[in-house]
Every structure is written in C-alpha cells, then in structure tokens.
Amino acid sequence: MKIVTLLEAGDGPRWPVAHAVAERESGDRVIVLMPPPDHVDSPLARELTAGGVEVVASPVPHRGASIRRQAGGILRLRAELAALGADVVHYHHYASAVAARLATVGTTITRVYMVANPLHLDHPLIRPVERVLCRLDHLLIAPTSDVRCRYAALGQPVRRLRTVSYGVDLDRFTPADDRERRGVRTDLDLPENGFVAVRVAHFHPPGRLVHPGRGVAGHEVLLAAWSRFVELGGRGTLILVDGAPEGGEDVAGRRNEAAVRYRERVRVWAGALPGAAAVRWVHGVRDVRPYYAAADVNVVSSWVEDYGAIGVASACGVPTVATRVGAISELVDDETGWLVAPGDAVAVAECLTDAAAGRRTPAARDRGFAARARAEKLLDRRSLSQDVVAALHEAVRGARSWHACSGPGRSVPGCTGDRKNEFTRRWGDYCRTFRRCGQGPPAASATVSSVK
C-alpha cells in the first residue's frame, strides 16, 4: 500500500517519523509531502530522509496565500497524488485537511484525517463548514476522547471514528534522577533546592473569533496565578519556554511575527506584577528535556489543550497543574497532579503553593511515578503508531468496498447479495447523518482579564 502523508511544516513534533517507521515495517511505501523549502531543509525532512522515507515538495501553498493560489495548489495536489499512485492520503492539520479533501473528491484515494489540533472546532465559522467537510473523510482519527465526542456531535458516523493518540517517545523523554536534576539546575543557573515551575507552549496571539481577547495557551492566567502565589509568600522560579512541547527548532521564517509581538506585550504587562523578577522567558529552545528535568511541577493553563505538554511532562515524571479542558482529565487527576477550572488564576496559585510546600516529599515522588506510569499506559508512541497504521489499512479496505459499488441500487459486478445490502445500508446512514444537526460544546468563559 502506498501512503502519502501531508504535512504543513518541517519543524514540528517527531510523530511523523514514528508513523513512517511503523508504516515501512508493515510493508507499505511511504511518501511525505512537505512545503518547500522545508522538504529539504528542516529537522523532520532530514530525519525522514535519513530513515529512507521519500520527502517531496507539496504543491499546497502556505496559509495566507490568495484564494486563487490556494485553488491552484489544490489542483496541483490532485495531480501530484494521482502521479504518485497514492492509495491513502493521511493529513493532520486543518488547512491540510481541507486541501486534501477537496483535491481527492471523485477519486479512489482513501482520505484519513488525524486531528493534530482541535482549535478549529472552536471557530464559529469553521465549525459549520467542518460539519459538512468531515463527511469526506473515510476515517477520522481523534487523538483524545474529547475530540472524538466533538466530531460525533458534528454528525460524523461513529463507524468512521477511531481514537488513537499521537503519544510520546518514552525512550527520549524519561524521568531525571537526583544527580541529573542537580546537574541541569547548575547548567540553568537555578538553585538546587528552590521551587521550579515550567510551562512549555507557544505564545498564540488572541483571535477575533476563537476565544477572543486572550491567548489560547493561557499565559495571562498563569502569570496572574504566579503573582498571586508570590503574594501568598511563595518563592521559586517560573520558566516560560516559548516552543513546542517536544522542542525542536523553528525553520527560518516560520515563526509568526504576531506571536512574537504578543509575547512581548504579555511580557511588558507581566513586568508590573508581583513576582515578575522570578519569571524567566526562554525561546529558541531545541531540547526541552533539561527544563522538565529541572522542574518540580509542569503548569498548563490553556483554554484549549490536548495531551501535548502534559504528555511530555508525564513521561518525564513531572506532575502537572492543569485546567480542566478537553481530555486533560485522562492524564491529570489527584494521583498525577492538580486540576482547576479554566481561567481560575486563584486556584492555580493555590495548587502552586501546594506543589511548592510538598516538593521532594514522598507524596511528590509518588505523583511523579504515577504520571510516568500513566504515560507508559496511554502514550507509548511506538505502540500507538502501529495502531495508526492498522487504522489506515482498515480505512483503505472500507473505502475500496465502497468504490466497488458506485451507488445505491446500481447493478455492479461483484456487488450483489450481502455486499450490496451493506452498501445500501451505509449509503442510507450517510444521507441521514449528512442531514443531522449537532451542537458543539459551549465556549469557556474568561475569569482573568486579557492583556491590553
């Protein structure tokens, strides 16, 4: 089977490598489409090429291009996929999903969408469009149960939904022992016995329609909570790492200037808060492991979040203070950390106080052990990548059975008896779900003032 994976950039997490390895081990041929110049000059492209995976330039232009260029790119993508002889196209980000769906309409290529980021489901204009477009996917792989439920609410048939996480590289991200922790803290110029909290996330500027007036990563909430923590007598260091949860380098020109301006605006705002001197602002980090090794606690104050940074911190044996959004409660509970309501800076401060008071105690070590155990149970990327490959094969088999019968009630050779009845049943289900109107979850309300 020939699998074509469509990526938007070459500087993201390393799960495409794990997927490609699992696909090649199953005997499939793998081709990755990546926008130029990332297809030759990016961390992912270099690692994939070194592993024997063919990486070619994607004809789909970057987001922000004109509608005419986007339409032309979709037509070129259609021709490219036909020339490659793709059996299945596997896409992860929403812009890629739209392009791949439209480029393959009317073809026999199987479409599989694995949702890397569910933020588009909070967009009031995109959500009703996605209610229609998601029906073009032969299979939709949700990374969490929350994303699966949200697509089911949009009317995506349950039989076309699977739940498989992207997982974490458990061999790369491991708990640090006391010696490693001391060494890392010395390298980072951190006190050996001081309290250290870390947050690894990009600074996403507020949108006009999606959670307007606040960054979805919730940096304002965390900084307000840290200020409260200091006012309550807390002492320590908060490290804000502007980057992806798994680290990696930014390809030149990829960083959004609006995000950089937003980060600096937040920094100026936070500079006037109590405890500002104990906040470190870090960016351009390729390897985030030293920061997790130095941390007593990981903090996730997002308004929208998947496993992301929590999964990586859990693999490193670091407990997490997190907002109760999405499927975070599958990884964070009383055994592995603390859960608070979205936007509740006071509650986050109280959890930080609890974490600081209990650090280096048996209870803190137990939380770290439990976090690692949870990651090993739910987030083993090697095993999950094999599940993804199995899902791709399942999707191709299902799509081929559909293509064997070109429409309900038609007399097609090989489409008789039970097989024909099965197609007719599926066609009826499809039409009914297409007319169904579902509702997404309500948007969260803010409890912390946004940065002006």
Residue 452's pLDDT is: 40
Instruction: Name the percent of the chain lying above pLDDT 90.
Output: 70
Residue 66's pLDDT is: 78
Q: What is the pLDDT of residues 302-355, one digit of tens each?
A: 998 888 899 999 999 999 999 999 889 999 999 999 999 999 999 999 999 999
Residue 156 confidence (pLDDT) above 90: yes
- Bigger pLDDT: 428 vs 385: 385
Residue 37 confidence (pLDDT) above 50: yes
DSSP letter (8 states) at residue 140: E
Query: Is the dihedral angle over the CA atoms 59, 63, 65, 68 positive or is it negative?
Result: positive
Q: What is the pLDDT of residues 405-431, one digit of tens each?
A: 655 444 444 444 444 444 445 445 544
CA proximity to 448, closest of 338, 334, 341: 341
The model carries a pTM of 0.85
Instruction: Name the percent of the chain lying above pLDDT 70.
Output: 86
Residue 187 confidence (pLDDT) above 50: yes
Q: What is the pLDDT of residues 40-72, one digit of tens each?
A: 988 899 999 999 999 999 988 666 677 788 889
Residue 436 confidence (pLDDT) above 60: no
Q: Tokens for 432?
A: 């009914």
Residue 410's pLDDT is: 46
Give all domains of the chain, ordered by start, each with its CATH number.
2-167+381-403 (3.40.50.2000), 178-378 (3.40.50.2000)
Query: Is the dihedral angle over the CA atoms 129, 132, 134, 136 positive or is it negative?
Result: negative
Confidence class of residue 115 from pLDDT cuts 50, 70 and 90? very high
Residue 445 confidence (pLDDT) above 50: no
User: DSSP per residue over 338-359, as a string?
Assistant: EEE-TT-HHHHHHHHHHHHHHT
